[in-house]
Structure 1
Amino acid sequence: MPDLWLPGAERHPLGDTAPTDTQYAPRVIWHITWDKNASAARPADLVPFDRLVAYFTGAGRSSAPHILWDPFTGRVAQFYPANSRSKSVVDRAGGTRTNRTGRVCLQVEILFFPHCRVNGKTYATVRDTPVKGLDKILAWVRSWGVPDGWPMGSPSWSANRSEEVWETRGGHYGHSQTPENTHTDPGPMPKWPAGGSPAPKPGPPRFPGRAAFGPGKSNSSILLLGQQLVRRGYGKHYRVGPSRDWGEADRRNVQDFQRAQGWSGTGADGLPGPETWRRLFS
């Protein structure tokens, strides 16, 4: 098993761990701390690293990431183990749980804001910084199966969000590319091998097992199933759209899909098995 804690990182465990939704592909979400509003005409000194550590272990623990990284010194602090969710993105009820989406959903806060000043020099984007220690972070996230590419393209200062891409592809995402959120960070990022190019599209998400579906069940796999049924044109029985709660509309929509495969009898009972899942997500 890969390391739960980035080797060499300072450890500040917050203890408030929770599992991720492992049927989705692994990913990283990149942020900048954006502690000050500066400009090319009026740059400002970078905020000290220890001040951010104190914030994420104190008043800001409700928005703490996995990793805080200083690209100027390579210093790294970690607050959550890799197999837990962290809390740096908005996570609205009823949709994909954006803090939990993936076998891992690693969040990195970069100590940076546009036009920050370090040792007398001003830096407009993360791409302009020395990016010390980035290689160690990338090696660690790769060990967790995260592909190198950016499924929605390399970040800019503009938002670019797609719920479908988010649900079906692993890799690197900016806060600006995360559904249900409004921030536009981290801005232009440094390039690494395959950086800026889409990650290969993975196979179907892992089948969660038959026990995930049926009357009384409520989980993210039911939501993922319903969303895919709608995309494939088998959502006519939904009145308001799919949700995390299993209902008769889910069963009837699955049954329509199964019958379209030429199945009947117990093969078209409306409860997804491994082959239904594989064909639906192919």
Structure 2
Amino acid sequence: MTELWMPGAARHDIGDHAPTDGGPAKAIAHITWDRTASAAKPAALVPYENLLGYFTGSGRGVAPHLLWDPFTGRVAQFVPATSRSKSLADGAGGTRTNRAGSVVLQIEALFFPHCTVGSVVYAQLVDTPCKGWSEILAWVRSWGVPDRWPAGDPVHAVRDERTWESEAGWYPHKGVPENDHTDPLTWPAFTGGARYEPYPGAAFFMSHGKPAIGKVSDLFTRMGERLVDVGCGRYRVGPGPKLSVVDVESYEAWQREYNATHKKGWTGAALKWPPGPETWDALEVPAS
């Protein structure tokens, strides 16, 4: 059952509710990035209470849906799920970034790289305890947001207007049109029900505008095995972890098969490498 207010989150309703525009359900991953630190010069984490006071006070104009403390599991919510929040830049005349979906759930993790809590330095968000993540993920899933990164994961994401307008899923701030932030850098994995590998983004499969032949990843092995399973493998040996021309040929065969079976009407580049999010999800590559 969908809940406008996340169960277990402290409700701090700042008002100023406004509807979203409809379309693919999205969640946006942010970090607060309150201070600039480095491995050589770490800095103390900003207190949760400071951010809570900011988003309910002078910063209410940029408040997200959720403020999440991954060290303690505390979560505060500022607007209901069906309202837009205002954490994304929204340029005049373009996509209404904060409204571009049936929901556009924005989650700000209290974190910046090389923050210290006690005597421990945390270089990445995924290094933290990530307390409360499973509860947040369950709530986001309940609103129809799938466990996938259509524009690429927080490391590989690219900003692509067409993907943004048409694909449901999680987007890092780095992958949202009209925005120039590079956060969150990392994000916890989809757990407790994710059976298949989320789409890693087109950039993962490319190098300098061409297929990334020679790139090594276990993901290519699992992808190739699924291509064999669906009758599109062109392998004499393998598949293996090093991306090859045969992997490319096999995936393009799968794109043609999917296009014909589902009467998509794709032509040209739509049937060529790299994999796209729709055919990738349909291939159901097992999660590692």
TM bin, normalised by shorter chain, reads 0.5 to 0.7
Q: Any idea what the Cα deviations from partners look like across 1:64-107, whole Å, max 9, x if unmatched?
A: 00000000100000001000000000011211100001100000
Q: Which residue of 2 aligns with 1:176?
A: 174
Q: 2-side partners of 1:109 and 1:172: how far apart?
A: 13
Superposed structure 1 runs of 4+ greater than 6 Å apart = none
Q: Which residue of 1 aligns with 2:45?
A: 46
Q: Any idea what the Cα deviations from partners look like across 1:210-229, whole Å, max 9, x if unmatched?
A: xxxxxxxxxxxxxxxxxxxx
Q: 2-side partners of 1:41 and 1:154: how far apart?
A: 27
Q: Any idea what the Cα deviations from partners look like across 1:178-213, whole Å, max 9, x if unmatched?
A: 0000000000112124486229xxxxxxxxxxxxxx
Q: 1-side partners of 2:7 and 2:48: how far apart?
A: 19
Q: Which residue of 1 aligns with 2:241?
A: none
Q: 2-side partners of 1:121 and 1:184: how far apart?
A: 24
Aligned pair in 2 of structure 1 residues 90, 150: CA closer, same or farther (>3 Å)?
A: same
Give the AA of the match of 2:9.
Answer: A
Q: 1-side partners of 2:157 and 2:58: how far apart?
A: 28
Q: 1-side partners of 2:184 and 2:50: how far apart?
A: 20
Q: Which residue of 1 aligns with 2:58?
A: 59
Give the CA deviation at 1:159: 5.9
Correspondence 1:1-282 to 2 at 5 A: 2-22=2-22, 24-156=23-155, 160-193=158-191, 194=194, 197-198=198-199
- Note if contact 2:29-2:187 (Cα within 8 Å) is conserved in structure 1: no
Q: Any idea what the Cα deviations from partners look like across 1:102-123, whole Å, max 9, x if unmatched?
A: 1000000100000000121011
Q: 2-side partners of 1:126 and 1:168: how far apart?
A: 28
Give the AA of the match of 2:28.
Answer: I
Q: 1-side partners of 2:188 and 2:12: how far apart?
A: 27
Structure 1 residue runs without a partner (length 5+): 200-282
Matched-pair identity in % = 60
Q: Which residue of 1 aligns with 2:260?
A: none
Q: 2-side partners of 1:119 and 1:135: how far apart?
A: 24
- Note if contact 1:30-1:174 (Cα within 8 Å) is conserved in structure 2: yes
- Note if contact 1:159-1:183 (Cα within 8 Å) is conserved in structure 2: no
Give the AA of the match of 1:176.
Answer: K
Give the AA of the match of 2:158.
Answer: N
Give the AA of the match of 1:188.
Answer: T
SS at match of 1:99: helix
Aligned pair in 2 of structure 1 residues 187, 86: CA closer, same or farther (>3 Å)?
A: same
Q: 2-side partners of 1:174 and 1:33: how far apart?
A: 13
Give the CA deviation at 1:177: 0.3
Structure 2 residue runs without a partner (length 5+): 201-288
SS at match of 1:139: helix
- Note if contact 1:159-1:184 (Cα within 8 Å) is conserved in structure 2: no
- Note if contact 2:152-2:175 (Cα within 8 Å) is conserved in structure 1: no
TM-score under structure 1 length normalisation: 0.68
Q: 1-side partners of 2:147 and 2:105: how far apart?
A: 13
Give the AA of the match of 1:190.
Answer: P
SS at match of 2:99: coil
Q: 2-side partners of 1:44 and 1:84: how far apart?
A: 35
SS at match of 2:108: strand
TM-score under structure 2 length normalisation: 0.66
Q: 1-side partners of 2:187 and 2:29: how far apart?
A: 9
Q: 2-side partners of 1:190 and 1:57: how far apart?
A: 26
CA RMSD of aligned residues (A): 1.5
- Note if contact 1:174-1:185 (Cα within 8 Å) is conserved in structure 2: yes
